[in-house]
Amino acid sequence: MAKTLLAKNLKSLRHIKRINQEVLAKGVGVPRNRIASYETQNIEPKLDLLAKIAAYFDLSIDALLTVPITHENYESIRKMRSTVEKTKAISVQALMVDLATNQDQEDVAQYAKRQQQIEKAFDGILAMHSLQENKDGWGVYHKQLEFLIRQLLKQNVELIRTIYRINSTNTINKST
């Protein structure tokens, strides 16, 4: 039976971290034989467990499922996750600085500020939820909802940028 990339990555990550299946299983709250099954491709984990495994190794779910992880590239893949988070915050801040320099863009600047407030509130909600035990089986739905909200926030930033560009173009056209 051919192994999936997830199966290969789990085994590789355990070797990189020098842990056995038992340690990983305890770390993510499942029996050892379940980890063994994931590594031999007998079963695939649910999304909420994928999130726990990814968090255990400080990776994104995307990297865990789609990038062949080796000793050589593990640190750079792991660091990409935090870089993406930092980039997201910087892009909104940069947008706000750009907007603040043009007084005609006050409304758009308010949209950007509100976007940042929404992102902070959302991150706070996620942090609170991660501290609670997932006893009611909503973990999969939580991750799906988180993904959808992050996509909406990303589209909102793009919309703000588009409005800014349109307003900037209109301002230039009015002055000529």
Alpha carbon of 121 to those of 83, 94, 118, 149: distances in Å? 20, 19, 5, 12
Counting Cβ atoms within 10 Å, is residue 173 exposed (0-12), middle (13-18) or buried (19+)? exposed
Cβ proximity of 134 and 29 under 8 Å: no
Cβ proximity of 160 and 112 under 8 Å: yes
Q: Using alpha carbons, select from 168, 64, 38 the residue that is nearest to residue 109.
A: 168
pLDDT above 90 covers a percentage of the chain that reads 22
> What value does the mean pLDDT take over residues 121-147?
63
What b/e readout covers 138-159, taking b as 16+ CB neighbours within 10 angstroms? ebeebbeeeeeeeeebeebbee
pLDDT digits (tens, 9 = 90+) for 100-131: 555 456 777 777 778 887 877 777 676 666 54
Give domain limits for the chain.
5-72, 76-175
| pTM recorded for the entire structure | 0.50
Residues 31 and 25: their CA atoms lie apart, in Å, by 6
> What value does the mean pLDDT take over residues 9-19?
95
Is 170 or 24 the better-scoring residue by pLDDT? 24
Residues 97 and 129: their CA atoms lie apart, in Å, by 32
* Cβ-Cβ contacts under 8 Å for 49 (sequence gap 6 or more): 28, 30, 139
What b/e readout covers 17-27, taking b as 16+ CB neighbours within 10 angstroms? eeeebeebbeb
Write down the CATH number for the domain with range 5-72: 1.10.260.40
- Packing angle of the helix pair 32-39, 21-28 (nearest 10 deg): 110
pLDDT at 16 over 70: yes
